[in-house]
């Protein structure tokens, strides 16, 4: 078989196994409950915002949002681009991206480590290349998380439309854009999780190492965010991201949402390039280990 066919078979098997497993079902239910609560909170916050500014016209309301976004990001084109988007959808995107690494860590910590522990990896490595097996595992995990994210965005969109905050055309346009924004970010996180999982034969060690690595990357993002907020409070202007923030995949959401194609392409290149580096490195290590 060709490597592409091998990757497709492994990815399909991984997707089916995750959906049917008890862990996948439990995490799916918990994620669904959490997402419903999150979107209800987001729509409540937008409702409060609209009530507070009820006397303001729609154009004035959009202008106030534009000014607020520009002040927090320092990007005038991005602020103009996002000002017309319902606040609830934008907040929900932030929540989805923020909780994405947690979901990926719980779904992916035993992706390779569990196969190594139970020796089931031997069944596949005599029928496919090790590199194809590793890449298939990645695409299976990425596809699973992408499907979950799509379902959550659909639920959020239904609630926002029911509230009357957005029309059908705008929902489809921005809903697809927000979902597409999450894809390269989850790809980077999934690649990191898979790389770590392939280094261990015991799943619990993979879980602890994945959480530890994700926490360190989160600290990079948090440190940069606190620094930029402090500078903004002092000078009134948003500061550009520090170099270490580029190590945190979630930091690229604003670049991916930018109206500047160069910014979008740059973010895509960095995230997908980083994911590819993790997969290639993980495959190389996996091909050398004793199974």
Mean pLDDT, residues 135-139 taken together: 90
Euclidean distance between CA atoms 34 and 161, whole angstroms? 19
Query: pLDDT at residue 127 above 60?
Result: yes
The whole-number average pLDDT for the span 82-88 is 71
For 37-56, how does the pLDDT look when each residue is reduced to its tens digit (9 = 90+)? 877 777 777 677 666 655 45
The model's pTM: 0.84
Q: Give how far Cα 29 sits from Cα of 22, 78, 99, 271, Å.
A: 11, 35, 15, 29
The predicted-structure confidence for 275-284, as pLDDT tens digits, reads as follows 999 999 988 8
Q: Give CA angle at 67 (63, 73), nearest 5°.
A: 140
């Amino acid at each position: 078989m060709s490597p592409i066919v091998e990757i497709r078979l492994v990815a399909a098997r991984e997707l089916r196994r995750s959906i049917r497993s008890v862990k996948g079902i439990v995490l799916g239910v918990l994620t669904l409950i959490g997402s419903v609560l999150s979107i209800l909170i987001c729509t409540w916050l937008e409702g409060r915002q609209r009530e507070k500014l009820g006397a303001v016209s729609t154009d004035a309301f959009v202008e106030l949002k534009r000014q607020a976004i520009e002040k927090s990001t320092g990007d005038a084109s991005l602020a103009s681009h996002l000002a017309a988007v319902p606040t609830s959808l934008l907040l929900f995107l932030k929540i989805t991206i923020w909780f994405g690494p947690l979901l990926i860590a719980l779904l992916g910590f035993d992706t390779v480590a569990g196969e190594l522990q139970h020796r089931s990896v031997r069944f596949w490595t005599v029928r496919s290349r090790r590199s194809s097996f590793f890449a298939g595992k990645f695409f299976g995990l990425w596809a699973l998380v992408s499907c979950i994210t799509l379902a959550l965005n659909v639920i959020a969109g239904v609630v926002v439309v029911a509230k009357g905050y957005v029309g059908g055309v705008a929902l489809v346009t921005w809903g697809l854009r927000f979902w597409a924004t999450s894809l390269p970010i989850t790809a980077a996180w999934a690649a990191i999780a898979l790389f770590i999982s392939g280094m261990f034969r015991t799943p619990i060690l993979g879980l602890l190492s994945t959480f530890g690595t994700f926490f360190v990357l989160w600290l990079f993002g948090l440190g940069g965010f606190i620094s930029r907020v402090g500078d903004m409070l002092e000078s009134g202007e948003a500061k550009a991201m520090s170099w270490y923030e580029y190590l945190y995949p979630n930091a690229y959401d604003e670049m991916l949402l930018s109206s500047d194609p160069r910014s979008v392409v740059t973010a895509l290149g960095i995230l997908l390039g980083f994911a590819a580096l993790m997969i290639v490195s993980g495959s190389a290590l996996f091909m050398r280990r004793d199974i």
